[in-house]
Amino acid sequence: MTEKNTRARTGPASAAELKVASRWLASLARGVRGAFNLTLVMAGLGAAATIWQCWLLARLIDGAALRGEALSQLAPYLWLLGLAIVLRAACDTLRQGLGFEAAARIRQDLRSLLLTRIAALGPAWATSQRSGAIASTLGESVEAIEAYFSAYLPQRIIAALVPLAILVVIYPFDWVSGTILLVTAPTVPVFMIVVGKGAEALNRRQWQRLTLMGAHFFDVVVGLTTLRQAGAVKRQAAIVASISESYRHATMQVLRVAFLSSLVLEFFATIATAMVAVYVGFRLFYGDMAFLPGLFALLLAPEFFRPLRDMGQHYHARMEAIGATEQLLAILDAPLPPERPNHPLASADLQEIRFENVGFTFEGGASITDISFSLQRGRTLALVGASGAGKTTIARLLLGLLQPLTGRILIDGVDLAELDRADWQRRTGWLPQRRRFRRHDRR
């Protein structure tokens, strides 16, 4: 009686849709702002520890290689270097832990919000959807949102904070190396934006294929017994294989773009670091700068690009979140059924239930029309018909799970639409059709 449907739009998202998705993702972070602020603090401490570690390492090499200092003179710097390494590792661990906890809280709240929304939308909406698509949204889509908050969002903060701190420190020591880093740094985010525009469309199509595959596979598993009886198992297996192959091709396209972008990001970072090394080497050769600041600048150059490269690696988490947002917003933005009066039943002993020209139509076109009958207290009524004739729909209408589009259902002369649904459902019982299978052991 129903026709399952799913959203199958596979074209690229418009700029307005991407903006809406980004704003909605940002709104989810407001509930865990405290954890993200602590993440920012840990990132700042980690940046300070990184700079301190590079300076201590440069000082040790300078003292041992050029100044000829003894081990007793270098021992304090060795202890401080170990402390800086431990502090940096601790800050990174705490930052990752805080990001994971914040993302896990968002995931839990989002699933609770989705389940509440599905319950509010009611059975009429759920009947028009594919069960597998809803399950995929509650599963993979929410997991993709978690990766956005645990990986990409904290890394975006670090990518803005750490290079800025390194520039502030490196300019007093070597303004030429600082200028090289400042000029080459924008090439990384610019290239990420250029590649990301095409990758987002590919990733969005991948998520839609994943949703389609999960929905179809779920429906096949649920109806496996019926498929066996109809002899359609092989045909459905071929359909699942075709959808899986399409999803594999989409995944490989996304990975191709991801690997290409990582390669180009590494190329730009390597070229910039090599330029710093060349300029430092020439100035050391001609005696225009001391060894300690030159080595310090050279050690900071890879650390300057490390957060930008890491953000490029985590950029796929943003693309996945944008692709998954469409399925999530499809549930959260679905219109709620109209509010109904909540009048309690006047009497505990009901005398008559009457259907008057009741009609209902599903989105797929299946419908029942002009259903009229009366059920008296103490009498039994049997509804007989072929599968798909409308017996289950009538039962759902009687339980208040669906609302008639035409006609009305009267409970002792009172329209069921005006009664308190919870009060009515407490007075009704539902015994679903069940099949029992006995297992016979054959020896």
The predicted model gives 335-343 an average pLDDT of 70
pLDDT digits (tens, 9 = 90+) for 388-435: 778 888 888 888 777 788 888 888 888 887 777 777 777 787 776 655
CATH superfamily, region 15-332: ABC transporter type 1, transmembrane domain (1.20.1560.10)
Residue 220's nearest CA partner among 91, 130, 101, 160 is 130
Overall pTM > 0.85: no
Residue 142's nearest CA partner among 211, 231, 51 is 211
pLDDT digits (tens, 9 = 90+) for 200-210: 666 666 666 66
pLDDT digits (tens, 9 = 90+) for 34-54: 777 888 888 888 888 988 998
Residue 85: per-residue pLDDT? 92
Residue 124, pLDDT above cutoff 70: no
Do 250 and 213 meet the contact criterion of CB atoms below 8 Å apart?
A: no
Residue 137's nearest CA partner among 77, 214, 67, 190 is 214
Give the CATH number of domain 352-426; options: 2.20.70.10, 3.90.650.10, 3.40.50.300, 3.20.20.70: 3.40.50.300
Binned at pLDDT 50, 70 and 90, residue 326 comes out as confident
Residues of the chain with CATH 3.40.50.300: 352-426
Residue 204: per-residue pLDDT? 63
Residue 396: per-residue pLDDT? 82
Residue 339, pLDDT above cutoff 70: no
Q: How many CB atoms lie within 10 A of CB 41?
A: 13
Residues of the chain with CATH 1.20.1560.10: 15-332
Burial per residue of 291-315, b for 16 or more beta-carbon CB atoms within 10 angstroms, e otherwise:
ebbbbbbbbbbebbbbbbbbbbebb
Residue 65: per-residue pLDDT? 82
Instruction: Provide the percentage of residues in the chain whose pLDDT is more than 70.
Output: 78
Q: How far is CA 25 from CA 96, 99, 146, 350, in A?
A: 19, 15, 10, 50
Residue 83, pLDDT above cutoff 90: yes
Please indicate whether residue 415 or residue 363 has the higher confidence score (pLDDT). Answer: 415
